[in-house]
Amino acid sequence: MLFIALKDFLCQISSPARPEEVWPQIETHSLFKRYSRQWERLSSRRRRKAWEQLGALITKVGYATRPYCIRCGACCRQGSPTLYQEDAFLLHSETLSKRDLFTLRVGELAYSNEEGRLVVVKKEAIKIKEINGRCCIFFDEKNRSCTIYKFRPLQCRVMACWDPEGFKTLRKKRPLQRKDIIPVKYPLWEIIARHERRCAVTQMRTLLKRNDKERLQEMAYYDLQTRHFLKENFQINPQEMDFYLGRPISTLIRLYQGGE
């Protein structure tokens, strides 16, 4: 089954290598050997984790057979980039606007390219919006190209899908946050802070586990009213709300419902 997965992946990335040529790298890898010996004794949970790790191994080995960009758009479809301090100039130069961004708040689940799985967000981050699931809004599907390529964010510039190690260079970088973009003395901060307290994602996930529908409804209503208040009193464009307040609580509830 793993060999078939390797074969499919090589085909997916248009690799010139044949699976028979690549398979020895999988078969002789310590990860494959360890799980081969232990497989029958592994629980269902451990087997799922093993498949995730072996899948990541296939990805790494597969991309190594094609160490150059073929403009397949796979990286753009797998998720939009997180912005870092070095990307602040993109907002100042108006390459990006707040309408193009959303805030990923503490407690949310986000896909980690480095780990190849969903992880809990521990620090606030700003991301470019996505469409059709995880596809970056700046990806031109027809031409398989980035519409802001010359001014693409740092994460996109260091991205080399055939070499996942490139993401390690971002570990020492600080993600861009709302406080880096919104003036410190801007009166809107008080409202954002209150919204963070009343609509914390960690609290929302706890309420989901308890199936506390009443309090979830109250939280979603408060979130909706805050957005309306910002529109009416601060003339905030509705398309910018996901930057100022993160994605709507109602949206997050739908995303996480049943997945906890």
User: Diameter of the chain by CA atoms?
Assistant: 64
DSSP letter at 116 equals T
pLDDT over 60 at 199, yes or no? yes
Instruction: Give residue 114's pLDDT.
Output: 66
Instruction: Give residue 168's pLDDT.
Output: 77
CA 178 centroid distance within chain? 17
Burial class (CB in 10 A: 0-12, 13-18, 19+), 66: middle
The rounded distance, in Å, linking the Cα atoms of 176 and 104 is: 11
The rounded distance, in Å, linking the Cα atoms of 104 and 79 is: 13
Annotated domain spans of the chain: 2-64, 74-179, 182-256
CA 135 centroid distance within chain? 10
Higher pLDDT: 56 or 104? It is 104
pLDDT over 60 at 259, yes or no? no
The phi and psi torsions of 40 (rounded to 5 degrees) equal -65, -25
Spatial neighbors of 252 by CB under 8 A, at least 6 apart, are: 108, 201, 204
Instruction: Give residue 134's pLDDT.
Output: 82
Give 222-242 pLDDT, tens digit per residue. Answer: 999 999 999 999 999 999 999
Runs of H (alpha helix) within the chain: 2-12, 19-27, 30-38, 44-64, 74-77, 88-92, 154-158, 188-198, 201-210, 213-234, 241-245, 249-256
| DSSP letters for 33-64 | HHHHHHGGG--HHHHHHHHHHHHHHHHHHHHH
Give 8-34 pLDDT, tens digit per residue. Answer: 988 887 788 999 999 999 999 999 999
The rounded distance, in Å, linking the Cα atoms of 87 and 99 is: 16
The rounded distance, in Å, linking the Cα atoms of 86 and 226 is: 31
Cβ neighbours, 10 Å, residue 117 = 14
Instruction: Give residue 117's pLDDT.
Output: 75
The average pLDDT across 146-155 equals: 93
Instruction: Give residue 260's pLDDT.
Output: 47
Give 75-126 pLDDT, tens digit per residue. Answer: 898 889 999 999 999 999 999 999 999 999 999 988 776 666 788 999 999 9
- Give pTM, 2 decimals: 0.76
